[in-house]
Structure 1
Amino acid sequence: LASLMAKKSNQVGKVTQKVDAFYRKWDEFYRKWLIKSLANKKLSIAIITVSFVLFLLSVIYYGPKIGFDMIPQADNGQIQITVELPQEYNLRETGRVLKTMEDKIKGYPGITSIVTELGKISDVNTGPNLARMDVNLVMPNKRDKKLDYYIQSFVRDFSDIANARLITVDYKSFTNKGGTAIQFFLLGQDIEELNRLKNEIMDRIHDVPGLINLDQSSRQGKPEITIIPRRKKLADTGITAQEIALTARAALEGIAASKYYEKGEEYDITVTMTDASVNTPQKVGQIAIPSRNGTVYRLAQLADIKFTKSYSKILHRDKYVAIQFTGSPAPGVPLGNVTKEIDKRLKKIEFPPGYKIKWAGTAKMMKDMVSDMTFAFILAIVLTYMLLAAILESFVQPIFILLTVPLAIIGVLASLYYTGISFAITSLMAIIMLIGIVVNNAILMLDYTNQLVRDKGMDVKDALIEACPTKLKPIVMSTLAIILGMLPLAIGVGAAGVEMRQPLGVVSIGGLLVSTLLTLFVIPAFYYLFEEKKRQKAK
């Protein structure tokens, strides 16, 4: 296709002349240093040793300092707010508090919509004293302030909300929709023992650096009415425990007496007693319960009545009684750093037999994805080796080519460290992609070297000196093409979600750049030393 479209001309353009002159200078420079490195075995060994030391230092120095995240926090213009009020609050009182919060939010510029949901925070966390609010803003390129500014401002404004037990303000994303990024469960059988362990866990992890919005699901203090029927009295009156339960439920919770229809919608008409008429054991004891012979008894005559405090809810998970712990990483703090420290502190707690910790939510998803990506990385290495062994008809040469992968890791870690970007799932994807890219440079050099040795009978050293500079131009051109293509991702060009894509570009550019520079000297040195040793053995 190119031969058909290209114009026939013997003239060389000015741009081509300058590019060729640039490549000639680099060719001469590279050829000179390549000859020096191959002429001196000690220098070749030094190049390999320095590269190996650089790899170790990058892993030891940069590795622990780079945070790990599931997906970088992206400014998508969405904020999620969860509110928990005292347990005695009903929906009307909760709605009044949320209306106050909405009025505070409306004063900020750039707010497009506010969606409030009363009665639940998530599918597990429900109750009339709970609420969730989703705040949507204009896109980042249409406002001056970042999402962190709004989050911090909302936290400050909501600090004076009366009776609010817990208010969390966080990024909203598909990974924490209806929940928080950090979630784990304490599983066991005895609720009292679970609460003892819960207190110990909260004491251990409440001061984890970067952990905010820490909470747990066990709530004590919910008013509970306990009715204990007197069996002998029931036998004398002919009233059953079921009749007492149904009557008490109708009086306390209400009963649907009829239905109301309006505009095609159907509503229950519930008849119940007022809160003031059943707010003490004595008043509850006055509930009338008729017997089958027409005699009316008071509840206090038939049962013992106690007002107690109980748990607002008891969760179950995997056939265990469970207490859920939730939290969020502070803005700018990688999720992996926080979960790693929490996990470290939890392991110091001695759990009784039958009690354990189980991770969930985004933290669990992140751990699973790391395992999957690690397997994909190993599989990519194995498949690449098998393919190269078949193409090169050698089991050893593919090993030299795959040495470009650890060379790329040096650039990956350095680029993440100096740009301040956390290691994320997209970074792992970029590393897997790099396996297929960085080996190409080594393939170009070694394949042409083998061709010169096989077809022209050249010495390995001379073949390397001829092949590597010859392939320098296509290596540089392909590397520059990929780097320029990834540059918009690396510098964060685009609207919402650039933070999620940025690690892909940074890792690709850093890994490819360092790998290419080191490959030009490390691979020829490795190959030459191996062939020399093999030749000496043959002698």
Structure 2
Amino acid sequence: AAACKKAGISPSDILTTMQGYYGGLYASNFNRFGKMYRVMIQSDPLSRKNLESLKNIKVRNRSGEMAPISQFISIDKVYGPDIISRFNLYTSMKVMVAPASGYTSGQALTALAEVANQSLPAGYTYELGGMAREEAQSSGSATGLIFILCFVFVYLLLSAQYESYILPLAVLLSVPFGLLGSFLFVNGVSAIGNISMLKMILGTMSNNIYMQIALIMLMGLLAKNAILIVEFALDRRKMGMSITWAAVLGAGARLRPILMTSLAMVVGLLPLMFAFGVGAHGNRTLGTASIGGMLVGMMCQIFIVPVLFVIFQYLQEKVKPMEWEDIDNTDAVTEIEQYAK
């Protein structure tokens, strides 16, 4: 800068001159054959192939003379990377991470976050990309919103069916017991697979997108079992039975259909739980979560749904007393005799 001021020129003149010789500079236009062409100035490639070519480049100083541009610049050799990687406009480096044998991708992401929080210096952070980014986003608020919407739609449909805002809670509050079974089975199978010779058969599982799909499917299947019990218990209550007996006999009437359909589904999902080959990890997670949810949900709902029906039907009748539409109990005689023996 001092040399430029002494010669009466500005640093921008130096940079513009170098741009014209080495990088090219737009000068003007000219018309030919009915078209407009741009005029670009740039030195010959042979005249700009090495550092010695700087001595041949001159710039006009304050006195009107042409001075070599090398008088106003100095060149230092600096070594740097050939390629600079960027992520979201920040300088970055790409790290490929794969979970070790016996661990899931979710566990690897958790370990990565812990190491980054402990080891990265100030001003450095990390971001996920590719499939890892999709996995992290899928396990966030979007999944929770989907579950909430499922519960809301089931509640609204059952409210319309039962003409009650209270009784559908007997169905909804029984669903979490089946979902709990999915988590117990997935975590239990993963633990068994990690500590025994069954590792190659069972593998490792985690709460990933496959398990979330299984949970959404189970919400409908478990609600179906509870709806059957509540529907039959409500019919018996309308016949004139007490709330307690209506719940017990309703559950007894649907015991065999619930066991048959639930066990049939469990048996049908066994090949998915013990899958091999391409996509086996996803199939195992989906199958194990579904089997666990159906088994635990089936066993719990048989006992829990009648209790919930008694509670919420009692509250419902406190709000709106029962209107007896059918006072003829002949349909219930055979059933009462069956359980009275």
TM-score when normalising by structure 1: 0.44
Name the count of aligned residue pairs.
277
Deviations 1:472-514 (A, max 9, x none): 2221222133223333322215x42232333222111110111
Aligned to 1:433: 217
Aligned to 1:446: 230
Aligned to 2:18: 244
Aligned mate of 1:464, from 223, 244, 247:
247
Deviations 1:177-197 (A, max 9, x none): xxxxxxxxxxxxxxxxxxxxx
Aligned to 2:180: 410
Shift of 1:241: 3.8
* 1:289 and 2:56 are equivalent in the alignment: yes
* 1:323 and 2:105 are equivalent in the alignment: no
Aligned mate of 1:360, from 115, 120, 128:
128
Counterpart contact for 1:453–1:459, Cα < 8 Å: yes
* Matches of 1:243 and 1:341, distance apart in 2: 54
Which structure has the greater CA radius of gyration? 2
Q: CA 1:340 to 1:482, structure 2 compared with 1: closer, same or farther past 3 Å?
A: same
* Matches of 2:183 and 2:295, distance apart in 1: 12
Aligned to 2:310: 528
* Matches of 1:249 and 1:298, distance apart in 2: 18
Q: Secondary structure at the match of 2:282?
A: helix
Counterpart contact for 2:116–2:126, Cα < 8 Å: no
Output the amino acid matched with 1:523.
V
* Matches of 1:301 and 1:363, distance apart in 2: 54
> Structure 1, unaligned stretches of length 5 or more?
1-227, 251-269, 279-283
The within-5 A match list for 1:178-217 is none
* 1:385 and 2:155 are equivalent in the alignment: yes
* 1:499 and 2:281 are equivalent in the alignment: yes
Pick the structure with more helix per residue: 2
* Matches of 2:184 and 2:163, distance apart in 1: 35
The within-5 A match list for 1:47-196 is none
Shift of 1:515: 0.2
Q: CA 1:448 to 1:302, structure 2 compared with 1: closer, same or farther past 3 Å?
A: same
Counterpart contact for 1:427–1:507, Cα < 8 Å: yes
* Matches of 1:438 and 1:372, distance apart in 2: 22
TM-score when normalising by structure 2: 0.66
Shift of 1:379: 0.7
Q: CA 1:390 to 1:375, structure 2 compared with 1: closer, same or farther past 3 Å?
A: same
Shift of 1:404: 2.5
Shift of 1:285: 4.0
Q: CA 1:524 to 1:428, structure 2 compared with 1: closer, same or farther past 3 Å?
A: same
Aligned to 1:343: 113
Deviations 1:128-177 (A, max 9, x none): xxxxxxxxxxxxxxxxxxxxxxxxxxxxxxxxxxxxxxxxxxxxxxxxxx
Shift of 1:466: 2.3
Pick the structure with more strand per residue: 1
Counterpart contact for 2:273–2:287, Cα < 8 Å: yes
Q: CA 1:271 to 1:241, structure 2 compared with 1: closer, same or farther past 3 Å?
A: closer
Aligned to 1:488: 271
Counterpart contact for 1:430–1:507, Cα < 8 Å: yes
> Structure 2, unaligned stretches of length 5 or more?
25-43, 191-204, 322-341
Q: CA 1:430 to 1:273, structure 2 compared with 1: closer, same or farther past 3 Å?
A: farther
Output the amino acid matched with 2:298.
T
Q: CA 1:523 to 1:273, structure 2 compared with 1: closer, same or farther past 3 Å?
A: farther
Aligned mate of 2:260, from 473, 477, 493:
477
* Matches of 2:161 and 2:314, distance apart in 1: 23
* Matches of 2:317 and 2:59, distance apart in 1: 109
Shift of 1:440: 0.8
Q: Secondary structure at the match of 1:360?
A: coil
Q: CA 1:403 to 1:347, structure 2 compared with 1: closer, same or farther past 3 Å?
A: same
Using CA pairs below 8 Å that are at least 6 residues apart, which structure has the higher relative contact order? Answer: 1
Shift of 1:317: 5.7
Q: Secondary structure at the match of 2:250?
A: helix
